[in-house]
């Protein structure tokens, strides 16, 4: 059996713009936002990335200045050229570790990201 893996290029420090795509219209008024990838997190056995925004936002009466993202489509890697479709997750707790489970986050919207 062939096991497929996806390796990311070094994206820490990459500046990007996050734009609304689909599934939660509340984010149409929140995005676009500019931020920087600051950390790679392991969620389950997959790589996710922490984006620290220049300016935060309020969602469901809670303030956020960071999100966690993961690619939506195979073959399109965060840090690649053009717009990349991503899942956007909000942390349920302060992110102090490098490894988490999917239940530590709320999946809130689909978005696109583009390097700036």
pLDDT tens digits, 3-24: 444 455 689 999 999 999 999 9
Residue 1 has pLDDT above 50, yes or no: no
Residue 33 · residue 54 · CB < 8 Å: yes
Closest CA to 108 of 77, 66, 76: 66
pLDDT tens digits, 41-70: 999 999 999 999 999 999 999 999 999 999
* pTM tops 0.95: no
Q: Report the pLDDT value the prediction gives residue 9, as an integer from 0 to 100.
A: 61
Residue 80 has pLDDT above 90, yes or no: no
């Amino acid at each position: 059996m062939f096991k497929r893996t996806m390796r990311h290029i070094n994206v820490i420090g990459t500046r990007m713009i996050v734009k609304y795509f689909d599934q939660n219209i509340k984010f149409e008024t929140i995005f676009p936002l500019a931020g920087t990838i600051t950390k790679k997190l392991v969620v389950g056995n997959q790589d996710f990335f922490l984006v620290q925004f220049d300016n935060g936002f309020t969602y469901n009466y809670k303030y956020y200045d960071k999100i966690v993202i993961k690619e939506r489509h195979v073959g399109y890697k965060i840090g690649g050229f053009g717009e990349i479709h991503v899942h956007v997750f909000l942390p349920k707790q302060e992110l102090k570790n490098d490894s988490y489970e999917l239940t530590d986050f709320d999946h809130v919207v689909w978005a696109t990201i583009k390097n700036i």
